[in-house]
């Protein structure tokens, strides 16, 4: 598996004010640390940005980028993802991963059957989810990114072993509750 040389750490989500400030959303575990990187780039690595955080705001930060003085310049940056070189990223513990490293990993169940591929990693407020494109399935599956559901991640082999809860995949029907064996189990006395 090829590990990307750049990691997305945030995005410009719009202009803020009239003096060239921008709205930035940080994807870092410590959101303010996005400003500590010497060189933020666009996805291609060709455009380089130096970021200075001004204030926290709802959903991110107001910030300045060197060379941007006017609102119209700030508006042109809307939608740009901000990347850093992997070599600038902090080292992680053995059980920690950068989301970008999980994208495109093959997904297997605990029995060794190939299920699909990781499309993205999302946080919808209730915890992280792996978005998986399962082979032979029309819809994407959202799998809770927990130790129970994802017991093994092997970046060297480029694969994830999952133990999904029932109902996550179309062919994984939820279990039917057991039928009562006698009238006492129904609650009748």
CATH of the domain at 131: 2.30.30.240
In a shared domain, residues 114 and 60 = no
In a shared domain, residues 10 and 84 = yes
Sign of the torsion formed by the C-alpha atoms of 75, 88, 53 and 56: positive
26 domain residue, yes or no = yes
**What is the per-residue pLDDT for 122?**
86
- Look at 102-106, 149-153, 184-188 and tell me which has the smallest mean pLDDT: 184-188
Q: 178 vs 163, which has greater pLDDT?
A: 163
180 domain residue, yes or no = no
In a shared domain, residues 71 and 108 = no
In a shared domain, residues 58 and 111 = no
Instruction: Tell whether the model's pLDDT for residue 74 goes beyond 50.
Output: yes
Residue 71: enclosing H or E segment and its boundaries?
helix 71-76
- Look at 20-29, 145-154, 165-174 and tell me which has the smallest mean pLDDT: 165-174
Confidence of residue 174 (pLDDT cuts 50, 70, 90): very low
Number of domains in the chain: 2
**What is the per-residue pLDDT for 62?**
96
In a shared domain, residues 108 and 138 = yes
Instruction: Tell whether the model's pLDDT for residue 80 goes beyond 90.
Output: yes
In a shared domain, residues 84 and 105 = no
What average pLDDT does this structure show over 122-148?
88
64 domain residue, yes or no = yes
On whether the CB atoms of residues 22 and 90 are closer than 8 A, the answer is no
Using the 3D structure, point to which of 54, 88, 122 is the last residue of a domain.
88
34 domain residue, yes or no = yes
Confidence of residue 99 (pLDDT cuts 50, 70, 90): confident
Instruction: Tell whether the model's pLDDT for residue 84 goes beyond 70.
Output: yes
Task: Return mean pLDDT, the chain.
Answer: 86
56 domain residue, yes or no = yes
Enclosing domain of residue 153: 101-162
The widest CA-to-CA distance across the chain, in whole angstroms, is 79
What average pLDDT does this structure show over 154-183?
74
In a shared domain, residues 65 and 110 = no
Give me the helices (H) in 89-189, please. Answer: 99-102
47 domain residue, yes or no = yes
């Amino acid at each position: 598996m090829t590990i990307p040389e750049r990691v997305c750490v945030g995005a410009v989500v719009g202009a803020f004010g009239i003096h060239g400030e921008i709205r930035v959303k940080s994807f870092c575990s410590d959101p303010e640390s996005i400003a500590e990187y010497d060189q933020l780039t666009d996805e291609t690595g060709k455009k380089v940005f130096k970021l200075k955080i001004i204030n926290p705001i709802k959903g991110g930060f107001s910030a300045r980028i060197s060379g941007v003085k006017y609102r119209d310049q700030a508006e042109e940056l809307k939608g740009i993802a901000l990347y850093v070189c992997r070599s600038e990223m902090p080292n992680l513990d053995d059980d920690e991963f950068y989301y970008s490293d999980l994208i495109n990993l093959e997904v297997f169940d605990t029995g060794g059957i190939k299920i699909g591929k990781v499309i993205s990693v999302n946080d919808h407020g209730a915890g992280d989810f792996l978005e998986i494109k399962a082979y032979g399935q029309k819809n994407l599956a959202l799998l809770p990114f927990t130790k129970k559901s994802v017991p093994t991640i092997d970046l060297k082999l480029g694969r994830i072993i999952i133990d999904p809860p029932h109902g996550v995949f179309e062919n994984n029907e939820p279990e039917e509750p057991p039928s009562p064996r006698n009238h006492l189990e129904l609650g009748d006395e």
